[in-house]
């Protein structure tokens, strides 16, 4: 694993699938379609899956040319080798069985076709601010362990393994809370139950800038290729 100071997720994805125009890309855990929209703008033929009904509705609205299905990453409703590649962006740690999700991704892309997996690590100021709302230490570690086991077991070859940082700026605490509840609306109950401690953690973790509050999240990216 090595650190890349100037990498970002979209650049990594476009580099991995270049030339991406016309390629059939599966976005696992697509959420409201933000990444799908960026990939479609580059000419990719995008399909997205997400277990959330509201997320799929938002993705369909955002990317009318895309195909979106409400489904679990552990049981993909697609044929073997249906896609030219797949992306799992900040989603693997939310899957109850990440090893199964990786196997399913490998099945639907087929041997030799890349899968980009980008996962947040349990460190950084964004993680510190999120922790009192939802402590993802164990599930983030489990996602990394699943990737390592899949490679060690021979199911995948690892083409790239790197870390980089995502920097985000929020106008205030409310903007941060809106961001994290958009990912998982169930977090709202935890926010209401411990508002003072959550506010204190945000203030302690964030760096004040002229634009607001800056938070940094280290990400680990793997480019995996299913074995033949």
Looking at residue 228, its pLDDT comes to 78
- From the list 93, 71, 84, the residue with the least C-alpha distance to 114 is 84
- From the list 104, 112, 34, the residue with the least C-alpha distance to 72 is 104
What's the per-residue H, E or C state across the chain?
Answer: CEECCCCCHHHHHHHHHCCCCCCEEEEECCCCCHHHHHHHHCCCEEEEEECCHHHHHHHHHHCCCCEEEECCCCCCCCCCCCCCEEEEECCHHHCCCHHHHHHHHHHHHCCCCCEEEEEECCCCHHHHHHCCCCCCHHHHHHHHHHHHHHHHCCCEEEEEEEEEEEEEEECCHHHHHHHHHHHCCCHHHHHHHCHHHHHHHHHHHCEEECCEEEEEEEEEEEEEEECC
Looking at residue 170, its pLDDT comes to 97
Contacts for 41 with CB less than 8 Å, ≥ 6 apart: none
- From the list 104, 125, 225, 227, the residue with the least C-alpha distance to 170 is 125
pLDDT by residue, tens only, the chain of 228 residues: 555 555 689 999 999 999 999 999 999 999 999 999 999 999 999 999 999 999 999 999 999 999 999 999 999 999 999 999 999 999 999 999 999 999 999 999 999 999 999 999 999 999 999 999 999 999 999 999 999 999 999 999 999 999 999 999 999 999 999 999 988 889 999 999 999 999 999 999 999 999 999 999 999 999 999 997
Looking at residue 2, its pLDDT comes to 56
Looking at residue 184, its pLDDT comes to 86
């Amino acid at each position: 694993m090595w650190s890349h100071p100037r990498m970002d997720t979209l650049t990594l994805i476009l580099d991995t699938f270049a030339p991406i125009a016309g390629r059939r890309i599966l976005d696992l855990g697509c959420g409201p379609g933000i990444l799908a929209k960026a990939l479609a703008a580059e000419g990719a033929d995008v399909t997205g899956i997400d277990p959330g009904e509201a997320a799929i509705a938002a993705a369909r609205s955002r990317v009318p040319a895309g195909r979106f299905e409400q489904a679990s990453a552990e049981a993909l409703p697609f044929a073997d080798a249906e896609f030219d590649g797949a992306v799992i962006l900040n989603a693997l740690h939310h899957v109850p069985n990440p090893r199964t999700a990786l196997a399913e991704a490998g099945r639907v892309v087929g041997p030799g076709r890349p899968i980009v997996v980008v996962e947040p690590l349990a460190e950084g100021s964004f993680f510190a601010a999120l922790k009192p709302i939802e402590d993802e230490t164990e599930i983030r570690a489990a996602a990394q362990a699943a990737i390592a086991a899949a490679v060690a077991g021979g199911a995948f070859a690892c083409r790239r393994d790197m870390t980089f940082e995502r920097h985000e700026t929020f106008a205030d605490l409310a903007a941060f809370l809106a961001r994290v509840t958009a990912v998982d609306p169930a977090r709202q109950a935890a926010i209401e139950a411990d508002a003072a401690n959550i506010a204190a953690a945000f203030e302690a973790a964030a760096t004040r800038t002229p634009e607001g509050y800056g938070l940094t999240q280290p990400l680990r990216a793997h480019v995996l290729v299913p074995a033949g």
